[in-house]
Structure 1
Amino acid sequence: MKKSTLFTTTICALTLFLSSNANAQKFPDLDKSPLDAAWYPNDYKDANKAARVIYGRPQLKGRNVSELAPNGKVWRTGANEAAEITLYTDMSLGKTKIAAGVYTMYTIPGEKEWTVIINKDKNVWGAYTYNDKNDVARLAIPVTTSTDSLEAFSMVFTKADKGVTLNVGWGTTRLAVPFTN
């Protein structure tokens, strides 16, 4: 009985060893511009969300914002995939009503203002296939400057009187994008 148990244990161990090596996975290195998300309310325990944005976080690494997000050109609003924004309730951007749903968010940087674009395309890499015919809303947002510099592109929602504000920052550039109910 002992030889049988030892034999069975050895066979099981050998099978496990060989099968784990046969199914070994190669995982990619960490992304240099990792995905991040911001949502409102920010409390993870509150499931009643108003909005969420998922975006890549490029780093300046000694470069200027205008090099990475050139003025006058449609930008994916982050790195890699175009930023994806989900509105869980109907909202407005400026005077344009936007139905609850999932959208792509682009921006067109400028010296004094950036144009924020909500577009109905989804699963878009960069802004290479951007199609303005699929725009749902556009709004020019004044640019402000901070004394603090952000190395990584960042977004965060804050409460507003009649909705939420999506705060966008990179380097010393700051935008406050108002979404109202």
Structure 2
Amino acid sequence: MKLFHLLVLLSLFAGKVQAQADSTQSTPTVELVQPQLRPSPVAMAQYKTENCYLKLTYGQPMRKGREIFGKLEPYGKLWRTGANEATELTFTKDLKIAGVPVRSGTYTLFSIPNQNSWTIILNTDLGQWGAFNYKPEHDYVRVDVPAIKNNQIYEALTFKFEETSEGATLQLMWDDVKVQIPMAFAK
């Protein structure tokens, strides 16, 4: 036990001597900062065919017992459709989203949740944090899609692509809500 106390005292003394030596130097010291784990990790959904690649990158928030839609994410209000940085959708081929033609590229995906339908927004302003600097004049397309009650409760916001005869459907599931965004590949 005495050895332990001696080691503690020596390490404190050595730290104080080093701090005094550092304070007399004219060059600044560099402090390393450990990265913080995000409560909402980065997640990705992907879909690939011979001719087209779809990728959605988003921050994945957790439900944590909260009521999500209508409370945490109010109805009728713009949402970044995820957490942290705004969600981004990339596709390598022209397609139709809910029947509306969209050129290939990368877009920020915003939404306006409502109880029975959502407005899905593809915006050309990339690299945004949240929806704080959202500019509607940069909207490329807006479409309305139905929102349905899901049979399963999703703790984490989850996106996935599901193959269809015309292309794919992007599915968003969180809490007891499911939103499906149809994507038809241009022929």
TM beyond 0.5: yes
Structure 1: give runs of 5+ residues left out of the alignment.
1-21
CA distance in 1 between partners of 2:95 and 2:46 (Å): 15
Aligned equivalent of 2:149, options 135, 145, 149: 145
Aligned equivalent of 1:61, options 51, 64, 78: 64
Q: Which has the larger radius of gyration?
A: 2
Secondary structure at the aligned position of 2:76 is classed as: coil
Amino acid at match of 1:179: M
1:28 maps to: 35
Question: Per-residue CA shift, 1:136-162, capped at 9, x if unaligned?
Answer: 111111111122100110100111111
Amino acid at match of 2:162: T
Residue 106 of structure 1 and its aligned partner are, at CA, apart by 0.4
**Number of aligned residues:** 156
CA RMSD of aligned residues (A): 1.9
Quick check: 1:105–1:118 contact (8 Å CA) kept in 2? yes
Quick check: 1:39–1:49 contact (8 Å CA) kept in 2? no
CA distance in 2 between partners of 1:36 and 1:25 (Å): 27
Residue 103 of structure 1 and its aligned partner are, at CA, apart by 0.6
Query: What does 1:68-87 correspond to in 2, within 5 Å?
Result: 68-87=72-91
Quick check: 1:93–1:138 contact (8 Å CA) kept in 2? no
Scaled by the length of structure 1, the TM-score of the pair is 0.80
Q: Percent identity?
A: 34
2:101 maps to: 97
Question: Per-residue CA shift, 1:76-104, capped at 9, x if unaligned?
Answer: 00001110000111111133211111110
Scaled by the length of structure 2, the TM-score of the pair is 0.78
Amino acid at match of 2:82: G
Structure 2: give runs of 5+ residues left out of the alignment.
1-28
Aligned equivalent of 1:117, options 121, 127, 139: 121
2:53 maps to: 50
Question: Per-residue CA shift, 1:58-92, capped at 9, x if unaligned?
Answer: 11111111222210001000001110000111111
Quick check: 2:84–2:130 contact (8 Å CA) kept in 1? yes
1:136 maps to: 140
Aligned structure 1 segments of 4 or more residues deviating by more than 6 angstroms: none
